[in-house]
Structure 1
Amino acid sequence: MQIKSGLAIVGENLDVINNVCININEDGIIESIGKSNNCNNYVGNGNLIAIPQPANAHVHSGDNNFPEYGVKEGLHELVAFPNGLKHKLLNSLSYEKLIEGISSFYNTAYNMGIGLLVDFREGGGIGCKASKEALKYVKDMDVIVLGRPGPEFPNNCDGLGISSPVDYKEDYVIDLSKKFKPSMTHVAEDEETRKSNDFEIAIKSDFNALIHGLYLNEDDFEKLSYKNIYLIFCPSSNMWHGMKFPPIELSLKYNVKFAVGSDNASWFLPDVFRETYQLLLILRLKRIRGEEVAKELMKSLYINGYKSVGLEPRLIEEGKPAHFLLIDGYNSGIMNSINIYNSIIKRVQPSFIKFRVDRSNIKNLGLLFS
């Protein structure tokens, strides 16, 4: 099978290659990446752009059952464990209804071109089981289900994802995080939790990644860099809840690897293209600009989210399984851009995805958004 595109983002360096013919063998592996004039019997055209499938490194899929709830409430009233409104609503759902909502969310993510979801699931092993049941209806997308202590934990969970290190005794958190990998937790989402030393406990616990980190200081970022711990930013969520901009500039300054998540399905579609664009705007407000800045954001989207949970990124590269998207480069304006990395961060959106390629399967997503 051959795929023709006018431009492709290739390899771990995310190189921009023009006029490409991607040859995929019978096993769904990218056999070669050559010039488009070598394409004979192909899918695609010179107006398409081949990009990797992005990772959404932090979601809560169970919330999909009650969209836009609690619009007048504050963050703690909504999501604090165990008495926040979210947990009351989750406890009111039947198991079948929970699976239905999660499955719908996963299907939305697939159609938005997502290659990986990292899903924080409430409800112990039973919550993780609901996600595994929902996955039966979605193919060709990786989902890492991170559970938390509760009924039947850690059965059906792929790792650990807790709301905060201060929700449990410190020794218990350290033991959990070292035992169940990958492990993630929210930290420093507001001033109160930061003052409770949630970050210090998280550092002792060797979590693979921390979520939010809004109130971390420069000393904290030095520790993250030294420990090689990933930070997951969810800018839309932070702004919706009236918190603050994520400290993306400190990640760049201290070389802290970061990825992007859309957070709760109740308030946000799993559109990480929009989340990364938000980060670009925040950096420009701080006068941090340029193609290299946009390229770092692309790494967060196409590489770091995967590596934060120990997976290989879905790169367009010879010898790798074929998992990529074909974007309308003409109507998006990307094809004619002189700043490709900035254009991809700003202009890629689900409505411009024409095809999703997964090994030997090509799905026409353009029909969904036309």
Structure 2
Amino acid sequence: MERAGTILRGPELEPIEGRLVVEDGRITHIEEERVDSTDIVLPAFVNAHTHVGDSIAKEAGGGLTLEELVAPPDGLKHRLLRRSSREEMVAAVRRSLRYMIDGGTAACLDFREGGVEGVEVLREAAAGLPLDALAFARGSTAAMEAGDGFGASGANDATFEEERAAARKAGKPFAIHAGEADPSDLTPALDLEPAFLVHVVHPEPGHLERIERESVPVVVCPRSNLVTGVGLPPVADLAERTTVALGTDNVMLNSPSMFREMEFLAKLTDVSAREVLRMATVNGAELGGLEYGPLAVGRPARFQVVDGDSDNLAGARDPVRAVVRRAGVDDVSEVVLEPGRLS
């Protein structure tokens, strides 16, 4: 398999004109040469924070506060989840996963409600799809053991010390929401030594210093934060200190489109387009412990091809800015998700 055009090569997403060659599911060559193609070849996205169970409740709860929408156990989403049958859940989640694939996404790191059954719902919904749906389970240590890690709601909800110890013993990542509505849960969240934090909208200077000192990665979800009215995270400050990845958060509130998330972040902040694209691809893969990410020789072939001559993108002078600030699902001409996905 060969694909030609402008290839966003390596961890720095360097745009080169040339060809990308795939053999047996892995990238074997990236050759810089003149080619007759306007395509843009870039890494597949990794959506670093989702709640795809919310696919059964899209656009529910307009006007509610963050706590009214999502706080366990009686926030609107949790009530709707309890009322839904397993069949409804699986069907709704599968449609969201398919949408993500069509939009160039190879993996999502999903915070899974519903305990062991919630993990099983995600597994069933993802069956046969070329997407890594990683279950950061919630509800019990048994759910964590059935899934790919533990995804805690927040340190103001519980201490999570038992779950953190169990995840460490199982050799699985422990991640936690923190600093979403206010800074009160950031210190106890950091005390748990998480694999990464989610949101971090309201860090104080001491939290930023500690995040940098302890090299704690952060996943930001700016569209969700705006919808819930909690504000926007200091993404540039965070990116200066640690690895930052990008997620779309609740399907209840936002489509799981990484193109929309990138555009939103790029236009509301002074973070460069290249750094935003790294957050959506290379950095997310790193957080998920995935072997793919940058387009480089020896890596699994998991990438997308964007039509640089679409009516939307024709004439763009900067391919990285065009992908981040302008492209959408309709501009994706091909998504290549070869086997050999997990490291």
Task: Give the alignment's TM-score, normalised by structure 2.
Answer: 0.92
Letter in 2 for 1:278: F
Question: Which of 254, 257, 261 is residue 271 of structure 1 equivalent to?
Answer: 257
For 1:95 and 1:150, locate their aligned partners in 2 and report how far apart those are by CA, in whole Å: 19
For 2:78 and 2:252, locate their aligned partners in 1 and report how far apart those are by CA, in whole Å: 12
Instruction: Report how far residue 176 of structure 1 moved.
Output: 4.4
For 1:177 and 1:200, locate their aligned partners in 2 and report how far apart those are by CA, in whole Å: 20
Question: Which of 282, 305, 308 is residue 329 of structure 1 equivalent to?
Answer: 308
Question: Which of 341, 345, 354 is residue 324 of structure 2 equivalent to?
Answer: 345
For 1:92 and 1:81, locate their aligned partners in 2 and report how far apart those are by CA, in whole Å: 15
Identify if the C-alpha distance between structure 1 residues 281 and 209 changes in structure 2 by more than 3 Å, giving closer, same or farther: same
Partner of 1:214: 201
Question: Which of 29, 32, 35 is residue 32 of structure 1 equivalent to?
Answer: 29
Task: Tell which deviates more after alignment, 267-276 or 47-56.
Answer: 267-276
Letter in 1 for 2:286: K
Partner of 1:42: none
Question: Which of 278, 285, 288 is residue 309 of structure 1 equivalent to?
Answer: 288
Q: How many residues align?
A: 338
Question: Which of 137, 142, 161 is residue 147 of structure 1 equivalent to?
Answer: 137
Q: Do structure 1's residue 261 and structure 2's residue 247 form an aligned pair?
A: yes
Q: Do structure 1's residue 157 and structure 2's residue 147 form an aligned pair?
A: yes
Letter in 1 for 2:298: G
SS state at 2:105 partner: coil
CA contact (8 A) 2:7 2:20 kept: no
CA contact (8 A) 1:126 1:151 kept: no
Q: Do structure 1's residue 107 and structure 2's residue 98 form an aligned pair?
A: yes
Partner of 1:135: 126
**What does the per-residue CA deviation read over 1:202-228, in whole Å, with 9 as the maximum and x for residues that have no partner?**
111111111111111222111111111
Partner of 1:66: 57
**What does the per-residue CA deviation read over 1:113-145, in whole Å, with 9 as the maximum and x for residues that have no partner?**
10110111101111111111111141x211211
Instruction: Report how far residue 158 of structure 1 moved.
Output: 0.7
**What does the per-residue CA deviation read over 1:42-101, in whole Å, with 9 as the maximum and x for residues that have no partner?**
xxx602111110110000011101211111211101110111111111111112221111
SS state at 2:134 partner: strand
Percent identity for Structure 1 against Structure 2: 27
For 2:15 and 2:228, locate their aligned partners in 1 and report how far apart those are by CA, in whole Å: 37
CA contact (8 A) 2:217 2:287 kept: yes
Structure whose CA Rg is larger: 1
Letter in 2 for 1:34: E
CA contact (8 A) 1:24 1:31 kept: yes
SS state at 2:38 partner: strand
Instruction: Report how far residue 170 of structure 1 moved.
Output: 5.3
For structure 2, the 5+ residue unaligned runs are: none
Identify if the C-alpha distance between structure 1 residues 255 and 334 changes in structure 2 by more than 3 Å, giving closer, same or farther: farther
Letter in 2 for 1:10: R
Letter in 2 for 1:184: A
For structure 1, the 5+ residue unaligned runs are: 40-44, 361-370
Question: Which of 75, 79, 82 is residue 88 of structure 1 equivalent to?
Answer: 79
Task: Tell which deviates more after alignment, 145-154 or 231-240.
Answer: 145-154
Question: Which of 227, 239, 245 is residue 232 of structure 2 equivalent to?
Answer: 245
CA contact (8 A) 1:103 1:137 kept: no
CA contact (8 A) 2:151 2:174 kept: yes
Q: CA RMSD in A?
A: 2.1
Identify if the C-alpha distance between structure 1 residues 214 and 177 changes in structure 2 by more than 3 Å, giving closer, same or farther: farther
CA contact (8 A) 1:214 1:246 kept: yes
CA contact (8 A) 1:109 1:270 kept: yes
SS state at 2:147 partner: coil
For 1:153 and 1:212, locate their aligned partners in 2 and report how far apart those are by CA, in whole Å: 23
Letter in 2 for 1:129: E
For 1:151 and 1:248, locate their aligned partners in 2 and report how far apart those are by CA, in whole Å: 32
Letter in 2 for 1:231: V
CA contact (8 A) 2:291 2:299 kept: no
